[in-house]
Structure 1
């Protein structure tokens, strides 16, 4: 395999990983900021108060975007990886 093809495939794979993880990370960020603001306003410093809502938000976003994630990974695999394997 040519080195340029390898690096281009690796770059595309890392970009796909970033795009796929972005919805869950955004949900965790928004939930964390909202809970942090709530904690600052009420002076309640409980660790489970930040962990459980973040986990619930990430699970909800994961469930909603599962078709997008699997479709993106399938398209990358069938469009990029399989032709490289078949050509080698």
Structure 2
């Protein structure tokens, strides 16, 4: 396997990881901003108030987006890795 093929494979793998993690990161950011705003407006500085809702939102998003995330990695496997393995590197 030459360097260009390796770098292209790594680029596509990183892109698939970014695409797969985007729903969870977006929900975590939005939830954190909303909770931070509520804490700033009410002057409540409780650590569990930020952790528990964010964890619940991330778990729910992961449950909903599992099919999308699996499809992203399956496409990477089918379109990039299997042809490289089949041609011998």
C-alpha distance in structure 2 between counterparts of 1:42 and 1:72, whole Å:
41
Count, aligned residues: 88
C-alpha distance in structure 1 between counterparts of 2:82 and 2:11, whole Å:
17
- Detail structure 1 runs of 4+ shifted over 2 Å in the superposition: none
C-alpha distance in structure 2 between counterparts of 1:78 and 1:69, whole Å:
14
Q: Which runs of 5+ in 1 are unaligned?
A: none
C-alpha distance in structure 1 between counterparts of 2:47 and 2:82, whole Å:
45
C-alpha distance in structure 1 between counterparts of 2:79 and 2:15, whole Å:
15
Is 2:66 aligned against 1:66? yes
State TM-score, norm by structure 1.
0.97
Q: Which runs of 5+ in 2 are unaligned?
A: none
Is 2:56 aligned against 1:42? no
Structure of greater relative contact order (alpha carbons < 8 Å, 6+ residues apart): 2
The 5 A counterparts of 1:1-88 are 1-88=1-88
C-alpha distance in structure 1 between counterparts of 2:17 and 2:79, whole Å:
16
C-alpha distance in structure 1 between counterparts of 2:2 and 2:85, whole Å:
13
